[in-house]
Amino acid sequence: MKCFIDAKVGTVKDAVAVCAVCGMGLCLDHLTERRMPQAASTGQAGTSGQMLVLCERCAAAATS
């Protein structure tokens, strides 16, 4: 799989991850890591939450 953002501008880079929201293939230059807080109702106190990989568009939408 190739990075979608790079492919749109005519360059080719291998994707190393997939956006957890939209499924876009992402290279290291275009991914954003977000730690989501652990839900209190899961009974897993003391855990730091789930790490999500997001594209720039989905990461921006998540913070607004």
44: in domain: no
Number of domains in the chain: 1
20: in domain: yes
Please state the pTM of the whole predicted model. 0.76
| b/e per residue 14-53 (b: at least 16 CB within 10 A) | ebebbbbeeebbbbeebbbeeeeeeeeeeeeeeeeeeebb
pLDDT in 10s for each residue of the chain, 64 residues: 999 999 999 999 999 999 999 999 999 999 999 987 766 555 555 556 788 999 999 999 988 7
End-to-end Cα distance, the chain: 29
45: in domain: no
Determine how β-strand 50-55 pairs with β-strand 31-36: antiparallel
